[in-house]
Amino acid sequence: MTYSLFRIHQRRTPTNIGIAALSACVVATAACTSNPVEPTPDDATADPFAVLAADSQVMSHQWTAPADVDLDAPEIQVVRAYADSEWNLIRTADYAATYPGYDDVAEDRFKNLNPRTGTIVHNILEARTTTHLGRPATEVHICIDFMNTAQPLNDGWIRKESLGYQSFRVQQTNWTSPSTPPLDYSRRMPYPTWNVFDGWEIHGMIDRRKDDGLPWSNCLSALPGFDYDAPYTARVPAPPTVEPFYPGWPTAIDSGE
């Protein structure tokens, strides 16, 4: 995982109860171990999306972007799927909580367990077309907002908000063209049921640009609606609300429908 995490002060967040009951380990069977849990064939046969469905009640992902960035564009979907899966894995240590295909493209399989609940907001600040190794590429720069999340303690919850700056480079693979099943964009789900990564490669990158006014600078000091003066950390009486996923994922249309 390639990202820079800025620990800064920010505004207070809602403390409504987002789920009826939540164990201190968030996802009980996985979050109590630091070793990633690989899905077993029996699990996949029973219901390959059961863990994702349950986890969507514990943590949601919302995405924002400038008007000229389509959150449903294939290359942006790849970035969204990778980032969502990466943070799901960090929270649960369970690969069944990641999206289909993530295990094949993940760059760094070692994760430090960091259970939390609430809503992570991923703000795309820039998506720019470029070239890499002579091939077309898209670089996507994201400011990640954790202010609507909370971590479990033995005797309650703590709000540990911070901002992260994350950058990815996405390209089509040399050997295949992306293949996507028919999708129904009128019916949205919290997670994709198809392999979003098929035909794509994605790598974390370091944004080495230094000028003010660029995405990293805006993330550090000028994210709209973010209160940089609020306390960095605070005890809260309950976990924040798990807000609806946005924009969510279109439903893959089964050939038999």
Q: Give CA–CA dist 81/32, Å, rounded.
A: 24
Q: How far apart are CA 168 and CA 29, in angstroms?
A: 31
Percent of the chain past pLDDT 90, that is, above it, reads 53
pLDDT digits (tens, 9 = 90+) for 158-181: 987 778 899 999 999 876 666 788
User: For residue 44, is pLDDT > 60?
Assistant: no
Instruction: Answer yes or no: pTM beyond 0.85.
Output: no
Provide Rg for the chain, Cα atoms.
Answer: 18
Given this model, what pLDDT does residue 245 score? 98
Position 175 scores a pLDDT of 64
157 and 217 Cβ atoms separated by less than 8 Å: no
Over residues 244-253, the pLDDT tens digits come to 999 999 998 8
User: Using 50, 70 and 90 to split pLDDT, how confident is the model at 114?
Assistant: confident
Confidence of residue 132 (pLDDT cuts 50, 70, 90): very high
Query: In residues, how long is the chain?
Result: 257
Is the pLDDT reported for residue 210 higher than 80?
A: no
Alpha-carbon distance of 207 to 168, in angstroms, equals 9
The structural domains of the chain, with segments of one domain joined by +, span: 3-252
Q: What is the mean pLDDT of residues 222-227?
A: 86
Query: What residues form DSSP beta bridges with 59?
Result: 118
